[in-house]
Amino acid sequence: MSGVEQRSSARLAVVQALYQMEVAGKGLNEVLAEFETHWIGREIEGDQYKPAEVGFFRDVLQGVLGNQKLIDQQIHAALQGGWPLARLESVMRAILRAGAYELHMRKDVPMRVVIKEYVDVAGAFFGPVEAGMINAVLDRLARDTRSEEAVRKGGA
């Protein structure tokens, strides 16, 4: 499995971990141990979870949690019509938080890659309307956090 595929798997695992933390009230250490030991690269109830880049998984998960207040403010500002982040479904919040973290803190990952990857994650859980909303919000965030890259690339 290539490094690109392992990062894609890590992003999906981050979204699932953030969701579990919010819905089940699990702590960071518990979720890290659970995902690294029992989920990533394993088969669970007939579903195969692909290997993931564990260091990237940890960085994004810990980064979202460590910067959640700033990330939530950025997402709230990017949502159209004053739609509050709290009204979004939990998985959508997790996708936006992980994408916002990467756009803001992982400048080594091109913004177009970040947006495409999280739109793909959204597509695994939702239909095209929701994936389009994720795309629009992440695009707005990219223009705010990476304005030079957006101009250089002709937009996100």
CA dihedral 90, 6, 124, 69 (to 10 degrees): 20
Per-residue confidence band for 153, with pLDDT thresholds at 50, 70 and 90: low
Which residue segment(s) compose the domain that 63 sits in? 3-152
CB-neighbour burial class of residue 76 (10 A; exposed 0-12, middle 13-18, buried 19+): middle
- The rounded distance, in Å, linking the Cα atoms of 70 and 64 is 9
- The rounded distance, in Å, linking the Cα atoms of 110 and 67 is 20
CB-neighbour burial class of residue 59 (10 A; exposed 0-12, middle 13-18, buried 19+): middle
**Which DSSP state fits 84?**
-
How confident is the model over 46-85, as pLDDT tens digits? Answer: 555 566 788 999 999 999 999 999 999 999 999 977 677 8
Sign of the Cα torsion 79, 31, 109, 124 reads negative
- The rounded distance, in Å, linking the Cα atoms of 83 and 31 is 29
Per-residue confidence band for 155, with pLDDT thresholds at 50, 70 and 90: very low
How confident is the model at residue 6, as a pLDDT?
A: 86
Q: How far is CA 16 from CA 3, 22, 78, in A?
A: 20, 10, 23
How confident is the model at residue 84, as a pLDDT?
A: 78
Number of domains present in the structure of the chain:
1
In this prediction the pTM is 0.88
Task: Provide the CATH number for the domain around residue 104.
Answer: 1.10.940.10
How confident is the model at residue 145, as a pLDDT?
A: 86
How confident is the model at residue 83, as a pLDDT?
A: 75
User: Contact, 122 vs 134, CB < 8 A?
Assistant: yes
Question: What is the percentage of the chain residues whose pLDDT exceeds 70?
Answer: 84
